[in-house]
Amino acid sequence: MNDQLNNKSLIQCSNVNVFYADQQALFDINLDIRENEVTSLIGPSGCGKSTFLRCINRMNDVIDICKVEGSISIDNQNIYDPEVDVVELRSRIGMVFQKPNPFPKSVYDNVAYGPKLHGRILHQEDLDRKVQESLERAGLWSEVKDRLHEPGTSLSGGQQQRLCIARAIAIDPSVILMDEPCSALDPIATAKIEELIDELKSKYTITIVTHSMQQAARVSQRTAFFHLGKLIEVGDTEKIFRSPEHEQTEAYVTGRYG
Amino acid sequence: MTEEHIVTSFDDELRELTDGLIHLGGLAQIALANVEKSLKMNDHDLAKKTIEADKQINALQFELEEMTFNILAKRQPMANDLRSVFSSVKIILFLERIGDMCKGVCKRIAKGDLLNAKSPKTIDALVGLTKDVQNNLDLVLDDYAQGKADNALNVWRSDIKIDSSYASILTAILEDIRNKPEAIEALVPLFFIARYLERIGDQATNIAEVNHFIVTGEVLTDDRKLEAEEKTVF
Ligand SMILES: Nc1ncnc2c1ncn2[C@@H]1O[C@H](COP(=O)(O)OP(=O)(O)OP(=O)(O)O)[C@@H](O)[C@H]1O
Ligand SMILES: [Mg+2]
């Protein structure tokens, strides 16, 4: 059960502080995210999970009033270094959101978009292969192989979410960020995504925000609990749901948080 | 943790389960007290009553298991809730077994030939053994009711003593069998009674370990017990 533990850390966050205008949203976050593991971020609404996730691919840059301090290193490179090419950085980090958000394009083009954008794939047959491979890895290929040229939005919600995952992995990221990827899905679609996450972790480092402690327990090896912008506790997921160190963590995971 | 759940019906269910378990523990204590009395007084009526009363324990066991099952399905408890609900499944079983074993002792008593063994010393020793076991059961049930594990180590240590009293009782019975082969039919039940009592003691130790798990989240392994034992020797 613990075979995935103690992988080396891929992402190091040190003293991360985030402000929206003069409102501070995150306070001195120090967190290491290990390679080829799934790390869950849990905590009550508004505690800063999404804000933290958006720090990792510098999505906060697009929010004018948002200011990020501290450092986040991926593969020993500080991604907030002025020399970092943000487009290139985002090509190494896939992101999946709460609501499936396929582009208003065909299934095929949704997946082909990233590789084309980053100019990685020049030949049509390579692109075809990439699209198929990504859809296969996202567990969607058999369901859509005859519908590749239908709009992505014509798929069911669960299929759309797997399409978004296919889109995210088509760019060969090393990191995948997921912000409540199952909250709009039924139990079957949720189970498929969870199964997928489990398979993907051998190739990618995954960080997932979830409101379900049971989901965190099922999919992740490490869990970080945030509360009011602070990282209260991080540890092996098993430890967090079995006997967390901090009373606040216990109160939250047992549903006593008032 | 004293703070209440956001869902108050969850608190109600947990309280009902804990109260039910304490009640079940009480029934096991009564059964064991009856064992002690019936043994000491050779009281067949009390033994028969105790056999009958085991049905109550089984019925409550069933009810509590249902309750636990439903809580798991409905609430999917976590952390201390998970530890306590999971543990209640085990404690229910341990208590039910204590009930069964008390019944086993009482059956041997109710048959009515114990006195034919003409071994008052062995009977006394069995009564003494029962008292030690009773004491351990009281301690672990007190701990459980208070959400503590303070007595876990004491109980574990005292169980070692119980095991050695059990061993010497067996030796005495064997010697009796050698010396008074004509009494063998009355001596063999004493042998079984000793065995039951020793196993009831084990159940109390099991409950102590579960209490420790509820409180700390850690499993009390034999190594850990030894470690703690060594620390308290001095
Ligand atoms: N674009 C924004 N502009 C201003 N404030 C923001 C912005 N985004 C988030 N915040 C604030 O930052 C804090 C953290 O929000 P965030 O969205 O990170 O929380 P969260 O943990 O993801 O919550 P939820 O579980 O509801 O998604 C909140 O107080 C929120 O109001
Ligand atoms: Mg969020």
* Structural domains counted in chain A: 2
A30 and A135 in a single domain? The answer is: no
Domain extent, residue B39, equals 8-230
Look at residue B231 in the predicted model and tell me its pLDDT: 57
B80:A258 CB<8 A: no
User: What is the percent of chain A where pLDDT is above 70?
Assistant: 97
> Average pLDDT of A171-186?
91
pLDDT tens digits for B130-174? 999 999 999 999 999 999 999 998 999 999 999 999 999 999 999
* pTM (two decimals): 0.88
Domain extent, residue A159, equals 102-168
Interface of B with A in 16-75 (CB under 8 A): none
Ligand 1 pocket, residue A49 CB under 6 Å: yes
CA of A102 to the centre of ligand 1 (A): 23
Q: Which of B10, B83, B217 has its CB closest to that of A255? A: B10
A84 and A191 in a single domain? The answer is: yes
pLDDT tens digits for B39-61? 999 999 999 999 999 999 999 99
Does any CB of chain B come closer than 8 Å to the CB of residue A241?
yes
Residue B206 in any domain: the answer is yes
Instruction: Give Cβ neighbours of residue B49 (< 8 Å, ≥ 6 apart).
Output: B34
Residue A165 phi/psi, 5° resolution? -70, -40
A73 and A129 in a single domain? The answer is: no
B82:A242 CB<8 A: yes
Residue A54 in any domain: the answer is yes
Task: Identify which of B16, B25, B14, B13 has the alpha carbon closest to the alpha carbon of residue B57.
Answer: B25
Look at residue B230 in the predicted model and tell me its pLDDT: 63
A258:B3 CB<8 A: yes
Of the pLDDT bands very low, low, confident and very high (cuts 50, 70, 90), residue B225 is: low
pLDDT tens digits for A147-161? 999 999 999 989 999
Does any CB of chain A come closer than 8 Å to the CB of residue B81?
yes
Last residue of a domain, one of A168, A197, A223: A168
Residue A178 in any domain: the answer is yes
Whole-angstrom distance between the N-terminal and C-terminal Cα of chain A?
A: 33
Of the pLDDT bands very low, low, confident and very high (cuts 50, 70, 90), residue B234 is: very low
Please name the residue whose Cα sits nearest to atom 1 of ligand 1: A63
Last residue of a domain, one of A168, A203, A219: A168
Helix orientation angle between B184-216 and B120-146, rounded to the nearest 10 degrees:
20
Ligand 1 pocket, residue A51 CB under 6 Å: yes
Distance from CA of B145 to the nearest CA of A (A): 20
Structure tokens at A218: 């099922």
Complex-level ipTM: 0.83
Task: Identify which of A56, A112, A119 has the alpha carbon closest to the alpha carbon of residue A84.
Answer: A56
Residue B1 in any domain: the answer is no
Instruction: Give Cβ neighbours of residue B108 (< 8 Å, ≥ 6 apart).
Output: B114, B189, B190, B192, B193
A23 and A108 in a single domain? The answer is: no
A244:B218 CB<8 A: no
Cβ-defined contacts of A149-156 (< 8 Å, 24+): A149/A106, A149/A107, A149/A108, A150/A106, A150/A107, A151/A102, A151/A104, A151/A105, A151/A106, A151/A107, A152/A102, A152/A103, A152/A104, A152/A105, A152/A106, A152/A107, A152/A109, A152/A110, A153/A102, A153/A104, A155/A102, A155/A107, A156/A189
B3:A251 CB<8 A: yes
Give the least confident one: B68-82, B101-115, B219-233. B219-233
For residue A14, give the 3-state DSSP assignment.
strand
Does any CB of chain B come closer than 8 Å to the CB of residue A244?
yes
For residue B24, give the 3-state DSSP assignment.
helix
Of the pLDDT bands very low, low, confident and very high (cuts 50, 70, 90), residue A1 is: very low
Residue of B nearest to A244 (CA): B79
Please name the residue whose Cα sits nearest to atom 7 of ligand 1: A20
Rounded alpha-carbon distances, angstroms, from residue B15 to A24, B5, B58, B214: 41, 12, 21, 15
* Structural domains counted in chain B: 1
